Structure 1
Amino acid sequence: MADLKSSSILIIGCGTWGASTALHLARRGYKNVTILDPYEVPSAISAGNDINKIKGWADNDSSGGGVDESYVRDRVSQEATAAWEEDELFKPFYHETGYVIAATQEKHVKDLYDEEQPTPEKGFVELKSAEDFRKTMPEGVLTGDFPGWKGWFKKEGCGWVHARKALEAAAREAQRLGVKLVTGSPQGAVTSLIFEDGDVRGVRTVDGIEHRADRTILCAGANAPQLLDMKDQLRPTAWTLAHIKMTPEEVKLYKNLPVLFNVERGFFMEPDEDAHELKICDEHPGYCNWTTPDHSVSTPFSKHQIPLRSEKGVRLFLRETMPHLASRPFSFARICWCADTPNRDFLISSHPDYPSLILGVGGSGHGYKHIPVIGQYIVDCLEGRMDERFRKVWRWRPETAVGRDGSDVQGRMGGSYKVLNLAEIGEEEWTKIQYDHAKL
């Protein structure tokens, strides 16, 4: 292990998982670690570059699976929760404010109950009426009629995390411990892996420089398929978010609120204390940017606007919950990319054909909340000591993607109840928010 810790390690990507991996490598005493990213931290395209993310009470976001899958999801969720509560680096960014989860259609209400088992013994309060929902927050916050909403409220063990600040803290601490961070284009923008003698020997960047390393760790998220043939195991998928400006008085009223999430409509969390903006996300199965007729290739791109149909979804959510805000103009919006595996379990594995390449990808829409611990599993994989059940569930598994249906909603609901194609959305079908682009 001593030789490994003195070897050169190259990480591609300084988003959530790349920053976490660098942090855990540094904490274990690795002395020669470099991260490459085409953007400054926090990356403009990282899903983790966000004011807040849900920290639920369990990790039931993957699709199906057996005993091993359930064990891994539960254990990771427990270890991440413990780290949010106990790790001095991440504690300041976890807000245990509680969580309201709901649905509208009876079938989805029943599915929620079956999945979560939200019983009083576990600390859940059932919500059956608009008045029940309104009572979960201070008077004047939830003013809607909540048509058809049914759900549950849990006060402890859940809430939200300040995503951007935690991501920045992880990268900053990794640097303090000796990790070299190379960001921006051309110097940090990777164009290709270096394949030599049946292995990966590093990468090339836009400026033509070769960065060679003993081990390479791919944490490039939705952009990973552009650097490596992932055998259809990763589907780059985008979601949408919007912000509205709040007054100083509203920020005080909305402080320390529980997360409110309807699995068919969307969710919101308390306003950002720095910019005084409230984030709202509409719920839908996602967008792909299919660039091939057979929908086999989805190519990510950055855009600080959202489709008009998503704006309608955000405003529908607001009309049902906070109609006094439903017409307020957006101050910010963007599409946010992640990469779905076929069953939404992570892909953390050595590559079967390239012994020096480690994969840390496949966040599948629920990777961020594990930033305090995800890097330790990737380093375990590098060191060859990953728990056997983790290794099995997170293995390289192209057989699961054979004949993959790119339009599979993978258990997600809301909106059109379909995965939509961004390539078919005309320029006039996007929001037209005006920005000072120097500040984006």
Structure 2
Amino acid sequence: MAPSKDASILVVGAGTFGCSTALHLARRGYTNVTVLDPYELPSPISAGNDVNKIIEEGSPDSDDGSNYVSQRILQVAYEGWIKDPVFTPYFHNTGFIIAAHTPAGLEQLTKREMVHKKSEYEWLDDAADFKKTMPEGVLTGDFPNWKGGWKKEGAGWVFARGALMSAFRAAQSLGVKFVTGDPGNVTKLMEEGGDIVGVETKDGKQHRAELTILAAGANAPQLLDMKDQLRPTAWTLAHIKMTEEECKLYKDLPVLFNLESGFFMEPDAERGELKICDEHPGYCNWSTSPSGHRQSVPFAKQQVPLESEARVREFLSHTMPHLSSRPLVFARICWCADTPDRNFLISHHPDYKSLVLAVGGSGHGFMHITSVGGFVVDLVEGGLESRLREAFRWRPETAVDRDWENVQGRRGGPNKVMNFGDVGEDEWTSLESRL
């Protein structure tokens, strides 16, 4: 049964899933919603607090319906980017290039992505083909062994921080209360009578609620036994400073993504910095829990391993060698949480009727900030589409004897999940922090 519109609702986490959920709750008329987060918005550790993210529309599902869920949620998300006034100002429909350069990567590009068979993509066969996708002077590299596809519309990038803050402001304007800092730093879920009745925060205060929604991302396993369904995994990004002339030249470029080495989008308008991500299966921070289980514990750091910087420079040497030696001005690690099948985990908890889970972004969560909160509210109200409800369900059986080293279809770097524990203290960049 759906809660009453004036029911007290707590949302734990003010990142992508939390802000989206708060917005959709408020839009549906819920009047007593509070969001708790340990940081002022935008949180410096939120994956959504970023200059840009890749966006692509969904396509019709296959004849057997095997990719229905992934394509359905893409379609709903994309509709939000092009129609919802909270989000449309931040979407740039510039097109998207996907590429690879090793035999294994090219096999993935053609056999899994099927890029060469999709009519919306123009096949790119050599360096000259890649260079023609952007103004002269942008792509100056040799693109060694690169091949790929160019989708000229229906994809692009979004100003992520702007969209996150727009969702926050819209929710706040509709009456959602945001509590940050120690008063918003949830330290435990409160259990009474076999149910979750709210949370306790670092300042010692108890916040009681009729419904608690856990949207704490990679930090969720620190608050609840997730039965190994979440693997906190981090990625790396770096910025270089661009001149005013370069910013003009690089404006409105398609996203360039090599699924084995990295990607970039146009410089951000706020600082005139070009963000480059080195592509890889991710880093974990392994330790042993008090119960003896293996766990990856997130931590905040506005630096990246030097090996990540080297991969960024290698990507630039292949694509834009004129930028490959330019100093980094910013870098950070960016946490997400992988489910075993990379589907979201949006579900009632089986043991606590008043606890809802909204986690498991699995590396593709931000694209769905326009719509993921709608799925959460659909679940709360009992109206979530059956195929999505099944895909997003609480599913610990999928994590039995979980292979924590599974790359989950990702490539790049050493083609394995890496461990921050293997990175020495002197093997990190030493850049100015922006915390």
Residues 289-327 of structure 1: CA deviation (Å, up to 9, x unaligned): 001298820000000100011111100000000000000
- C-alpha change, 1:132 and 1:310, in structure 2 (3 Å) is same
Structure 2 distance, partners of 1:383, 1:222, is: 26
Letter in 2 for 1:22: A
Distance in 1 between the 2:119 and 2:28 partners?
37
- Tell me the CA shift for residue 107 of structure 1: 3.0
Selected match of 2:157 from 156, 160, 165: 160
Q: CA RMSD in A?
A: 1.8
Residue identity in the other structure for 1:342: P
Name the structure 1 match of 2:134.
Answer: 137
**Residues 162-213 of structure 1: per-residue CA shift (max 9 Å, x gap):** 10000000011000000001011x1010000000101000000000000000
Aligned: 1:181 with 2:178: yes
Partners in 1 of 2:2 and 2:293 — Cα distance? Answer: 46
- What is the distance in 2 between the residues matched to 1:157 and 1:330? 31
Instruction: State how far apart, in whole Å, the 2-side matches of 1:120 and 1:292 are.
Output: 46
CA distance in 2, matches of 1:315, 1:386: 45
Deviations 1:202-258 (A, max 9, x none): 000000000000000000000000000000000000000000000000000000000
The corresponding residue for 1:7 is 7
Q: How does 1:18-33 map to 2 (within 5 A)?
A: 18-33=18-33
Deviation per CA, 1:135-174: give whole Å up to 9, x if none.
1000000000000100010101000011000000001100
What residue in structure 2 maps to residue 300 of structure 1? 298
Q: Within 1, Cα distance between the matches of 2:63 and 2:357?
A: 23
Shift of 1:12: 0.1
CA contact (8 A) 2:143 2:319 kept: yes
Residue 327 of structure 1 pairs with residue 354 of structure 2:
no
SS in 1 for 2:415: coil
TM-score, normalised via structure 2 length: 0.96
Tell me how far apart the structure 1 counterparts of residues 250 and 139 of structure 2 sit (CA, whole Å): 10
1:382 counterpart = 2:386: no
User: Contact 1:69–1:393 at 8 Å: present in 2 too?
Assistant: no
User: TM-score scaled to structure 1, two decimals?
Assistant: 0.95
CA distance in 2 between counterparts of 1:265 and 1:370 reads: 24
CA distance in 2 between partners of 1:35 and 1:342 (Å): 28
Amino acid aligned to 1:71: Y
Give 1:264-303 correspondences, 5 Å limit.
Answer: 264-292=260-288, 296-303=294-301
Query: How do 1:76-115 and structure 2 match up within 5 A?
Result: 76-115=73-112
Q: How does 1:393-404 map to 2 (within 5 A)?
A: 393-404=391-402
Is residue 42–residue 167 contact of structure 1 (8 Å, CA) maintained in 2? yes
Using the aligned pairs only, state the percent identity. 62
- Structure 2 equivalent of residue 148 of structure 1: 145
Partner residue, 1:40: 40
1:55 alignment counterpart: 55
Q: Aligned pair in 2 of structure 1 residues 286, 209: CA closer, same or farther (>3 Å)?
A: same
| Post-superposition offset of 1:24 | 0.3
**Does 323-332 or 80-89 show the bigger shift?**
80-89
Q: What amino acid is aligned across from residue 151 of structure 1 in structure 2?
A: G
Q: Which runs of 5+ in 1 are unaligned?
A: none
Superposed counterparts of 1:346-425, under 5 Å? 346-425=344-423
Partner of 2:312: 314
Identify the match of residue 199 of structure 1 among 195, 216, 238.
Answer: 195
Q: Letter of the 1:238 partner, please give it.
A: A
Aligned counterparts of 1:390 and 1:66: Cα–Cα separation in 2: 18
Counterpart CA distance in 1 for 2:293 and 2:338 is 14
Summarize the alignment of residues 205-284 of structure 1 with structure 2, pairs less than 5 Å apart.
205-284=201-280
Residue 405 of structure 1 and its aligned partner are, at CA, apart by 1.3
Does the Cα contact within 8 Å between 1:89 and 1:169 map onto a contact in 2? yes
Counterpart of 2:323, as a letter, is L
The residue identity in structure 2 corresponding to 1:8 is: S
Q: State how far apart, in whole Å, the 2-side matches of 1:68 and 1:302 are.
A: 40
Q: Which amino acid aligns with 1:132?
A: D
Q: Provide closer, same or farther for how the CA distance between residues 305 and 379 of structure 1 changes in structure 2, counting only shifts above 3 A.
A: same
Paired positions, count? 432
Tell me by how many angstroms 1:383 deviates. Answer: 1.1
Residue ranges of structure 2 left out of the alignment (5+ in a row): none
